[in-house]
Amino acid sequence: MLFTAAQISLLVNGKIEGDAGKTVSSFGKIEDAFEGQLTFLANPKYEEYLYSTKASIAIINTRYELREPVTPTLIRVDDAYSAFALLMHKFQEMAKGTLTGIQQPSFIADTAVIGKNVYVGAFTYIGEHVVIGDHCRIFPNCFIGDNVVLGENCHIQPGVKIMHDCKLGNNVNIHPGTVIGSDGFGFAPQADGTFNKIPQIGNVVIENNVEIGSNATIDRATMGSTVIKSGAKLDNLIQIAHNVEVGNSTVIAAQAGISGSTKIGNNVKIGGQAGLVGHIQIADGTRINAQSGVSKSIKNPFGYVTGSPAQDSATALRSQAIFKNLPEMEKRLKFLEDLVKQLLVEKAAFSQNGFK
């Protein structure tokens, strides 16, 4: 499909500089795009490529000032990154088309309620009293347990398992292999050293506009609900334990783990491989650096912590600077110790010779 610069500018509410009739049919990275492709510039690190790219059309920010002439037609917008993401989303929708209908073989319980324009892929199981909202897409090899509720326009990618009693809002996108509502890790230690399983009778509630990556696990609550609030974005390979709450528009990167009953505020950013202990609270707007180990509550909003155990970023960076200098400091300390020993020996010699 061909799109002109004029058509694209209408979609993103942009202003054209150059040939409005220039056409593109695909997307490309600014450093290696070729003629007939659309690209964008949002990160200043890639600024140099704007002047050498062979892309036909480039989306840039309104405030960006050109240092030299460029080849592509420009479309200026307030936020180039968001505009480019919107265009890719539109292109993906057109390329995929609209899937509807129920493929066979699949199992749908007689008590399940299926909305309008729903797609159910082959080898999918939908249990008793399930409610599937309008325009949902459930791709092949999915399991939807009893009493699960899906809101409208949910995308459940291949191999996803949503266990019994879990509730999803509207516009939820779950990527392949993720498990929603597996048992929380609850075991009672016994006097003989064994462990008895504690029944996990709660559920998982995922609110609107949440996206969860591949092979993540979100455990059901022991009692009550594990809650992922509206707008949260979870990367691949994340573990969310029982009774955790993840706040609105919070972002968690891959391989992070959140222990049970921890409450994470709104607009929190958690880096990859970070770990949070259980029963703590994380204030709104907190940034937790990758591989940080958070062992206590963070009470002040919009803080930035790093390290293990995690501490205020400025303090942690000073500590790291000192740590790097330890070998040199050890040499200096050894030199000073030797010097003191030498001075003591000389003082003792002076004393023996009658000097004070």
CA–CA distance, 50 with 69 (Å, rounded to integer): 10
Query: Is residue 312's pLDDT more than 90?
Result: no
Look over the chain and give the mean of its residue pLDDT values, rounded to a whole number: 93
- Predicted pLDDT at 320: 74
Specify the 3-state DSSP secondary structure of 291.
coil
What is the rounded end-to-end Cα distance, in angstroms, of the chain? 98
pTM over 0.85? The answer is no
At 12, the amino acid letter reads V
Where do runs of H (alpha helix) occur along the chain? 5-12, 80-96, 313-324, 326-352
The model's pLDDT over 191-246, given as tens digits with 9 standing for 90+, comes to 999 999 999 999 999 999 999 999 999 999 999 999 999 999 999 999 999 999 99
Task: Give Cβ neighbours of residue 145 (< 8 Å, ≥ 6 apart).
Answer: 127, 130, 161, 162, 163, 164, 165, 166, 181
Domain ranges of the chain: 3-96, 101-314, 326-356
Query: Is residue 48's pLDDT more than 60?
Result: yes
- CATH class as words, domain 3-96: alpha beta
At the topology level, CATH places domain 101-314 in: UDP N-Acetylglucosamine Acyltransferase; domain 1 (2.160.10)
| Inter-CA distances, 47 with 65, 143, 280, Å | 11, 46, 42
Q: Which residues are designated catalytic?
A: 242
The model's pLDDT over 76-99, given as tens digits with 9 standing for 90+, comes to 999 999 999 999 888 877 766 678
Mean pLDDT of 131-136: 97
The model's pLDDT over 96-121, given as tens digits with 9 standing for 90+, comes to 667 889 999 999 999 999 999 999 99
Residues 135, 139, 140, 141: is their CA dihedral positive or negative?
negative
